[in-house]
Amino acid sequence: MTRPRTVSDEAILAAARSCAVERGPAVPLDVIANRVGLTSPALLKRFGTRQELMIAALRPIDPPAWVAELADGPDDRPLAVQLRELIDRILHFFSSEMPCLTALSESGFPVEHIFDRAQTPPPIRSIRALAQWLARAAERGLVDQGAVEGNDFESVAAGLLGALHGRVFLSDFLGATYWRRSRDEYVADIARIYTRALSPVSRSQQLELQKRGNGTGNGNGTRIEPGPHLTKPLRKKKKS
């Protein structure tokens, strides 16, 4: 009769994850085994090799919860509200996973052992899922359909994720936070910037933007000469 396992695989993976973050991916198996009250051979019996154990412990959940939730949206609430909620969830994911990703990158394990080469890598799938969410937002009238060519929001999605990943990466890499804006302020800032960039604009707003872009345009592509309202009168020099 097989003896029941007293320590679950999940408990072993949690211990391996914690040890790798604390001491690096080269942490001895004995350290992990001692933390869960097992032996190193017992760990290898469960996971095969040390590399397989560390990859299973450090590899992010696929798909992340925030990516899975994208399939249910967007809804009819204002874009600003939904973007802020989404950005907050993504930043939380990056903050919680960055130590594991750092340890995984330092491990030297071949990428093909971490991600299945036969499938699109999870980071790319995340970008595409967010791009599809933005495309659906455009169909709902929440996002300007003319914001990108062909309604393909891949570049927008990559830029948004990069802004969030960059903050977390730099903080983790430098070992300290040098940001002047707090986390919540940063979330609000990024949400505001992308809302303004993506929100549909009225015809009158489009004409005003064209005027600003041309400097001396009248909004319909016809160039006009600057009048007195666009130029400052020259001051006459006083006679000495």
Mapped onto helix, strand or coil, the DSSP state of residue 233 is: coil
Fold of 61-214: Tetracycline Repressor; domain 2 (1.10.357)
* Greater model confidence, 219 or 176: 176
83: Cβ–Cβ under 8 A, 6 or more apart, which residues? Answer: 191, 194, 195
pLDDT at 1: 37
Do 214 and 223 touch, CB atoms closer than 8 A? yes
Q: What is the mean pLDDT of residues 179-194?
A: 95
Banded model confidence at residue 224, pLDDT cuts 50, 70, 90: very low
Quote the Cα angle for 95-157-198, to 5°: 115
Query: Of the segments 53-67, 77-91, 92-106, 119-133, which one has the largest average pLDDT value?
Result: 77-91
pLDDT at 221: 46
**Element containing residue 153 per DSSP (H, E):** none
CA 182 to chain centre: 17
Name the CATH code of domain 1-58 (choices 3.90.550.10, 3.40.50.720, 1.10.10.60, 3.40.710.10): 1.10.10.60
Q: What is the mean pLDDT of residues 217-227?
A: 45
Distance from C-alpha of 88 to C-alpha of 184, rounded to nearest angstrom:
8
pLDDT greater than 60 at residue 236: no
> What residues does each domain of the chain span?
1-58, 61-214
Mapped onto helix, strand or coil, the DSSP state of residue 223 is: strand
pLDDT at 237: 52
* Greater model confidence, 119 or 15: 15
156: Cβ–Cβ under 8 A, 6 or more apart, which residues? Answer: 131, 134, 147, 148, 194, 198
pTM: 0.74
User: Do the two domains 1-58 and 61-214 of this chain adopt the same fold?
Assistant: no
Do 191 and 84 touch, CB atoms closer than 8 A? yes
Do 83 and 130 touch, CB atoms closer than 8 A? no
